[in-house]
Structure 1
Amino acid sequence: MADGVLSAVRLIMGDTAQMDVVNAYLDGTPPTRELKEYFDGVGESDTVIVLTDLLGGSVNKEVFPYLERPGVFVIAGFNLAMVLELASMGEDEAVTEEFCRELVETGRSQVVFLNDHCKPQAQADDFFGEG
């Protein structure tokens, strides 16, 4: 899934985003080791936003210990709108807890049950005062 999301971002925005992906369970390497290798390469002053697919999922559980590190933010459950917003951040924009909360709200606002959102307008009879 991670490579697919990165591919979609690059298709839409080009190869400008500073994004890394960790694909879990593809080659038999445990996510624990992949995450350790990734975070071993992250500087103490670096900021990392981790997007996982499912709250309570196995990858989400594996990344949980990294919440103790300063500058690490984890969001469980995401959509492409959220990833595109992250990818379009300017270098001078700071990632804060408030930014992450707003990012989650952006994602929520993009999840819509269209049957309710786009209800057909009232019948023509009602519009003209008939019926």
Structure 2
Amino acid sequence: MNKILIASHGHLASGVQSSLEILTGMGNKVTVIDAYVDDHDYVPDIKKFIDGLDGQTGIIFTDLFGGSVNQKVMLEVADHENVFVITGTNLPIVLSVVLENEAITKTKLEELIAASQVQLVEEPKDDTDLSDDSFLE
């Protein structure tokens, strides 16, 4: 069992959680921190998440590499080998991790990240109708 935290500037974290709930009904499988939306100090929330792992694997998603949320997360996970931090978070990677049935390892995370669907989408050059199948490749 993995425990998952999404921490972001603003409401990105809770937005991803909402999308997870709509798409999979599994929004309750993630903990979220929406930082800087009020005066709340979120660092204790990061510590609480890490302390609650009890030896389980923790996966923490942050929005911006080197951003303040990512920096504070990295300071808190420094001595925890059972915690992975993924930054530059998008919905596909969170979905992939939440839906993954295999044990989460560094290698598995690298595979999921490689397939996280970040790509440039261009219109077809011909006059074919766009359908859902147009995006499968």
> TM-score normalised to the size of structure 1?
0.77
Structure with more relative contact order (C-alpha pairs < 8 Å, separation 6 or more): 2
Partner in structure 2 of residue 124 of structure 1: none
Counterpart of 1:114 in structure 2 is 121
Q: Which residue of structure 1 lines up, in the alignment, with residue 24 of structure 2?
A: 13
Q: Based on CA coordinates, which of the two structures has the bigger radius of gyration?
A: 1
Per the TM alignment, residue 114 of structure 1 is displaced from its structure 2 partner at its CA by 1.7
How many Å apart are 1:4 and its aligned residue?
A: 0.8
Greater than 4 Å deviation, 4+ residue runs: none
Task: Please report the TM-score for the alignment, with normalisation by the length of structure 2.
Answer: 0.74
Kindly provide the amino acid, as one letter, of the partner of residue 15 in structure 1.
M
Instruction: Using the TM superposition, give the Cα deviation of residue 32 of structure 1 relative to its aligned residue in structure 2, in angstroms.
Output: 1.9
Correspondence for 2:7 = none
Larger helix percent: 1
Distance (whole Å) between structure 2 residues aligned to residue 16 and residue 76 of structure 1: 19
Q: What amino acid does structure 2 have at the position aligned with 1:2? A: A
Q: Does the 8 A contact of 2:59 with 2:86 survive in 1?
A: yes
Deviation at 1:68, TM superposition (A): 2.6
Gap change, CA 1:103 and 1:68, over 3 Å in 2: farther
Task: Report the equivalent of 2:15.
Answer: 4
Equivalent residue for 1:96?
105
- When the two structures are aligned, how many residues end up with a matched partner? 115
CA 62–79 in structure 1, closer or farther in 2 if over 3 Å, else same: same
**Please, which runs of 5 or more residues in structure 1 have no aligned partner?**
122-131
Amino acid at match of 1:25: Y
